[in-house]
C-alpha cells in the first residue's frame, strides 16, 4: 500500500488555533449567518428583486444512526468492569446513555416530525431553518408582497429524506408566519424522472432525487438506460461517484490520513483522561474489540412512545484511534443537540485534540465529498450538473419574462451542497490537489465548517430593471459570495457582487 505524508505545517501540528473559540465541529457545526444583511451591497438604481432561489442543507440533527454511541458505550462498560475508569471516565457512561436516549426519542412530540428517532432534526435545527426563512423574508419583503398580489408560486422541493422534508416544513411554516397570504402560493412539483418510467409512485410530489439526492442514485429506483435521456449523464455520474467511494484508492487515502502520528498521540491523550493507561495500552495491543451490539429501549416521559433498537455490529472499536474518533463523533453531535442533551461533551475532548480530529474529518471529507484529486477530474461533483442547470433554468425563465415563480426552495444534504459549491467553482471550495499531494490545512482552503455547516445554503437573488436587464447576486451561508473568478467580467463593477446574468450564464456554459 502506498503511504502518504502530510506536508510540514499541516493541521496536525496544531498551528491554526481559532481566535473565535472554534470548537472544531466541522460539518456538524451549528449554523450561523456569515454576514449581517445590513452590510449587503445595495442593488444598482432602477433594479428591484423579482425572484430568489435557494439550496439548503437540513438543520442541526442528532446522530444519524445507532452506531458510534453504542460501540463507545460498550467499550465504557468493559472498562467499568475492569475497574479501568478515571473519575472523568466514570461520568462518560451516563452521558452516553443520556445522548442515546435523546436520539431514540428525537423529534417525539414535535409538530412536523413524523417518525421520532435517530437522524431527526433537533430543536436547534428547527430554529436554524425558522430563522433562515425569517431573514430571507426580511431581505426581500417586497418580492413576497408582490408574489402574493400576483399569485406567483413559491416552489418547494426536497430530497425526500425525513430531515430534508422536515426542514422544508419548518422553513415554509416560518415564511407563512411572516406573511400568511403566501400559503396558496406554495407549490410542490413532480420529480424529474426517466423517460421510460411509467409509474412515479416512488416519487412523491415535492421530492426529487436527481436534483437533491444525486449522490445515491440506485439501479433499483433511479436507473436511466436510455443514453439520450437528459437524466442519463446524472445517473452515470452518480454511479461513478459511488464506485469511487468503494474504491481501493480512496481506502488507501483514508488509511494514510488515519496513520498520521499526530492522530495517534491525540487519541492517546484523550483516552488516558478517561481510562487507565494500562487499559488504553491493552486496547492498542488488540486485547479489546467491541462493536455496536445490544438491544435498547427508551420510552417518552408521557409513556406514549417507545423506541427499541438493535445494534447491527458493523461499527467496531479495536484501537485507541477508533475509540477517540467515536468520541469525537458524539462530541460533534452533542453540539447540535443542546436542547435535548444537558451533558457537556466538550469536557471529554479538549480543543487541541478536537482540532486534530477535526482535521481528520476534513481530510476524509475532502476526498470523499469535496473537490478531491485533480487527476480524477470532476468525478466528485459532475453529478451536480443537473442541479446547476436547474438554477440556471429558473433564472432563464425570469430573464425571459416568465414570472410564474417567485422563489424556489430546495432542501437537501451536505452531500449535495458540497458538490454544488465545487461545480460552481466557488473560491476556497473547489480547489483540487494532485494525487501525489496529501490534503492539509497549509495547502488547501477547503474546510467542512465553512462549506457545509448545518443548514448550509446557497441563495441566488435575481433583480431586473424592467428594460430587459437581469442581475444575479449570490449568498453562501448568507454572505455575499463571488462566482468563479473567470466570470469576473460579468460583474457590473470590479468589486460588485451583482453579476450580469447573460454574461454569467455564458461564462458557466463555456
pLDDT digits (tens, 9 = 90+) for 461-479: 999 999 999 999 999 999 9
Q: Is the pLDDT at 12 greater than 60, yes or no?
A: no
Q: Is the pLDDT at 236 greater than 50, yes or no?
A: yes
- pLDDT, the chain, mean: 94
Find residue 154's DSSP bridge partners. 186, 407
Contact 411, 168 (CB under 8 A): yes
230, part of any domain: yes
pLDDT of residue 505: 97
Question: Binning pLDDT at 50, 70 and 90, where does residue 22 land?
Answer: low
27, part of any domain: no
Q: What average pLDDT does the segment 347-362 reach?
A: 96
pLDDT tens column, 247-259: 999 999 999 999 9
373, part of any domain: yes
pLDDT > 90 fraction of the chain, expressed in percent and rounded? 92
Q: Which range has the worst mean pLDDT, 2-11, 271-280, 404-413? A: 2-11
174, part of any domain: yes
Domain span holding position 314: 45-509
208, part of any domain: yes
Helix axes 351-368 and 248-258, enclosed angle (nearest 10): 170
**Helix residue ranges, H only, 376-500:** 385-399, 414-424, 448-451
Report, in angstroms and rounded to the nearest whole number, the Rg of the chain calculated over CA atoms: 24
Find residue 408's DSSP bridge partners. 53, 155
User: Phi, psi at residue 297, to the nearest 5°?
Assistant: -135, 140
10, part of any domain: no
**Cα gap 499→490, rounded to integer Å:** 5
pLDDT of residue 114: 81
Comparing C-alpha atoms, which of 53, 5, 58 is closest to residue 454? 58
CA angle 482, 487, 488 (to 5 degrees): 70
Q: Is the pLDDT at 15 greater than 60, yes or no?
A: no
505, part of any domain: yes
Task: Name residues whose C-beta falls within 8 Å of residue 339's C-beta, 6 or more positions apart in sequence.
Answer: 122, 123, 124
pLDDT of residue 11: 35
**Cα gap 171→52, rounded to integer Å:** 15
Question: Binning pLDDT at 50, 70 and 90, where does residue 376 land?
Answer: very high
Task: Name residues whose C-beta falls within 8 Å of residue 445's C-beta, 6 or more positions apart in sequence.
Answer: 427, 428, 429, 431
E strand intervals along 188-315: 290-291, 295-299, 306-310
SS3 474: strand
131, part of any domain: yes
pLDDT tens column, 200-214: 888 999 999 999 999
Nine-digit cell string for 405: 415563480
Domain containing residue 433: CATH number: 3.40.50.1240
pLDDT tens column, 393-441: 999 999 999 999 999 999 999 999 999 999 999 999 999 999 999 999 9
User: Phi, psi at residue 7, to the nearest 5°?
Assistant: -65, 155
Find residue 498's DSSP bridge partners. 473
pLDDT tens column, 103-133: 999 999 998 888 999 999 999 999 999 999 9
Q: Is the pLDDT at 18 greater than 80, yes or no?
A: no
Question: Binning pLDDT at 50, 70 and 90, where does residue 265 land?
Answer: very high
Q: Is the pLDDT at 19 greater than 50, yes or no?
A: no
**Cα gap 318→288, rounded to integer Å:** 6
Contact 442, 9 (CB under 8 A): yes
Q: Is the pLDDT at 480 greater than 50, yes or no?
A: yes
Q: Is the pLDDT at 174 greater than 70, yes or no?
A: yes
Q: Is the pLDDT at 192 greater than 90, yes or no?
A: yes
Q: What is the DSSP string of 446-463?
A: --HHHHS-TT-EEEEEEE
Total count of domains within the chain = 1
pLDDT of residue 202: 85
Amino acid at each position: 500500500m502506498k503511504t502518504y505524508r502530510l506536508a510540514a505545517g499541516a493541521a496536525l501540528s496544531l498551528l491554526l488555533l481559532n481566535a473565535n473559540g472554534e470548537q472544531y465541529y466541522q460539518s456538524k457545526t451549528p449554523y450561523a449567518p456569515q454576514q449581517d444583511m445590513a452590510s449587503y451591497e445595495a442593488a444598482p438604481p432602477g433594479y428591484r428583486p423579482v425572484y430568489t432561489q435557494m439550496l439548503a442543507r437540513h438543520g442541526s440533527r442528532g446522530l444519524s444512526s445507532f452506531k458510534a454511541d453504542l460501540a463507545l458505550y460498550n467499550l465504557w462498560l468493559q472498562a467499568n468492569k475492569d475497574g479501568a475508569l478515571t473519575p472523568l471516565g466514570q461520568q462518560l457512561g451516563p452521558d452516553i446513555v443520556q445522548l442515546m436516549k435523546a436520539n431514540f426519542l428525537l423529534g417525539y412530540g414535535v409538530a412536523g416530525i413524523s417518525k421520532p428517532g435517530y437522524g431527526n432534526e433537533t430543536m436547534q435545527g428547527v430554529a436554524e431553518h425558522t430563522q433562515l426563512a425569517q431573514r430571507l423574508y426580511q431581505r426581500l419583503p417586497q418580492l413576497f408582497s408582490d408574489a402574493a398580489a400576483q399569485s406567483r408560486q413559491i416552489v418547494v422541493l426536497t430530497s425526500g429524506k425525513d430531515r430534508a422534508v422536515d426542514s422544508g416544513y419548518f422553513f415554509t411554516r416560518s415564511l407563512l408566519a411572516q406573511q400568511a397570504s403566501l400559503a396558496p402560493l406554495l407549490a410542490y412539483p413532480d420529480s424529474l424522472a426517466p423517460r421510460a418510467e411509467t409509474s412515479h409512485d416512488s416519487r412523491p410530489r415535492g421530492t426529487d432525487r436527481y436534483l437533491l439526492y444525486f449522490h445515491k442514485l440506485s439501479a433499483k429506483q433511479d436507473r436511466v438506460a436510455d443514453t439520450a435521456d437528459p437524466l442519463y449523464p446524472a445517473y452515470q455520474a452518480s454511479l461513478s461517484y459511488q464506485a469511487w467511494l468503494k474504491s481501493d484508492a480512496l481506502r488507501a487515502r483514508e488509511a494514510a490520513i488515519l496513520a498520521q502520528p499526530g492522530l495517534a498521540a491525540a487519541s492517546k491523550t484523550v483516552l488516558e483522561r478517561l481510562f487507565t493507561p494500562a487499559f488504553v495500552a491493552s486496547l492498542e495491543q488488540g486485547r479489546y474489540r467491541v462493536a455496536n451490539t445490544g438491544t435498547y429501549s427508551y420510552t417518552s416521559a408521557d409513556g406514549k412512545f417507545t423506541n427499541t433498537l438493535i445494534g447491527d455490529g458493523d461499527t467496531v472499536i479495536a484501537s485507541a484511534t477508533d475509540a477517540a474518533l467515536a468520541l469525537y463523533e458524539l462530541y460533534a453531535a452533542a453540539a447540535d443537540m443542546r436542547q435535548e442533551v444537558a451533558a457537556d461533551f466538550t469536557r471529554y475532548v479538549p480543543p487541541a485534540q478536537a482540532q486534530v480530529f477535526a482535521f481528520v474529518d476534513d481530510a476524509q471529507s475532502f476526498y470523499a465529498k469535496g473537490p478531491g484529486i485533480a487527476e480524477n477530474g470532476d468525478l466528485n461533483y459532475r453529478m451536480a450538473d443537473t442541479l446547476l442547470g436547474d438554477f440556471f433554468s429558473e433564472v432563464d425563465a425570469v430573464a425571459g419574462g416568465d414570472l410564474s415563480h417567485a422563489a424556489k426552495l430546495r432542501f437537501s444534504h451536505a452531500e449535495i451542497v458540497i458538490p454544488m459549491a465545487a461545480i460552481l467553482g466557488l473560491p476556497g471550495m473547489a480547489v483540487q490537489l494532485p494525487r501525489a499531494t496529501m490534503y492539509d490545512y497549509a495547502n488547501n482552503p477547503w474546510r467542512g465548517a465553512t462549506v457545509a455547516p448545518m443548514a448550509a445554503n446557497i441563495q441566488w437573488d435575481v433583480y431586473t430593471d424592467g428594460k430587459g436587464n437581469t442581475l444575479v447576486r449570490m449568498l453562501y451561508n448568507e454572505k455575499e459570495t463571488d462566482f468563479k473568478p473567470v466570470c469576473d467580467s460579468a460583474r457590473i463593477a470590479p468589486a460588485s457582487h451583482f453579476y450580469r446574468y447573460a454574461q454569467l450564464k455564458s461564462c458557466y456554459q463555456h
